[in-house]
Chain A
Amino acid sequence: EVQLVESGGGLVKPGGSLRLSCVASGFTFSSYSMNWVRQAPGKGLEWVSSITSSGSVTYYADAVKGRFTMSRDNARNVMYLEMNSLRAEDTAMYYCARELLGASLFDSWGQGTLVTVSS
């Protein structure tokens, strides 16, 4: 069974940093591109970033480019989202999602981890 478990969320002050993790199990992690998707309170889903299976290529939404860095460790079946210069508008539930092979479609989701940016 595919499982994605996020962690690392919490309360952080504006300008602060946080690192989210997503641990994968039940599938060959190194074969899949992975994504982060977030949802601000009362808002819709917003794509944040993606990383190819090897980790060699990453993509970012304009809203986070230059502040967030996505990476992965295929030996440990985990991916990360390093978030710097956090703003109030980054407050959201962050989900990791597995991408269907070569299709830019998400077939599995984690339960999410909540990030709150507030002074």
Chain B
Amino acid sequence: QSALTQEASVSGTVGQKVTLSCIGNSNNIGYYAVGWYQQISHGAPKTVMFGNSLPSGIPDRFSGSKSGTTASLTIWGLQPEDEADYYCSTWDYSLSVQVFGGGTKLTVL
């Protein structure tokens, strides 16, 4: 069981907006910024968001936010190439470990 909770799967059509969520607690998401990592076909992970900042080269269709102990990754204008597994992660200060969510499989219909 993962320390952070993500939807197992989310789907959307091309051009749609989708939001992926990541639920933690006051010891992790409630305290630290959250990273979002995209993995296509079990290739190497790629960072698509850290906190609410967009890494260089990531389209501005991606945005990140946080409210209390829940972080969200929103993809606007969904594209076929966005189909991937997405993981959230942050530090947990009470456990002194980095924690990951179980991952969300995003399907573009």
Q: Which residues of A contact B (CB under 8 A)?
A: 35, 37, 39, 44-47, 50, 59-62, 93, 95, 97, 100, 103-112
Contact = CB atoms under 8 A, between A and B. Distances in A.
B24 interface: no
27 contacts: A35-B98, A37-B100, A44-B2, A44-B85, A45-B37, A45-B39, A45-B89, A45-B100, A47-B98, A50-B98, A59-B96, A59-B97, A93-B42, A100-B35, A104-B32, A104-B33, A104-B35, A104-B91, A105-B33, A105-B47, A105-B50, A105-B90, A106-B37, A106-B47, A106-B89, A109-B37, A112-B44
Contact of A45 (B32, B34, B55, B103): B103
B98 A44 contact: no
A100 B35 CA distance: 10
Contact size class for B? 20 to 34
Given A50-B98, A61-B97, A112-B44, A44 B103 contact: yes
Contacts of B45: 37, 45, 95, 97, 106, 109
Given A45-B87, A100-B50, A111 B100 contact: no
Interface of B: 2, 32-35, 37, 39, 42, 44-47, 50-51, 55, 85, 87, 89-91, 96-103
Interface of B is mostly: strand
A107 B42 contact: no
Contacts of A93: 42
Contacts of B50: 100, 103, 105-107
Contacts of B90: 104-105
Nearest to A35: B98
Contacts of A61: 97
Contacts of B44: 95, 109-112
A80 B100 CA distance: 22
Contacts of B51: 103, 105
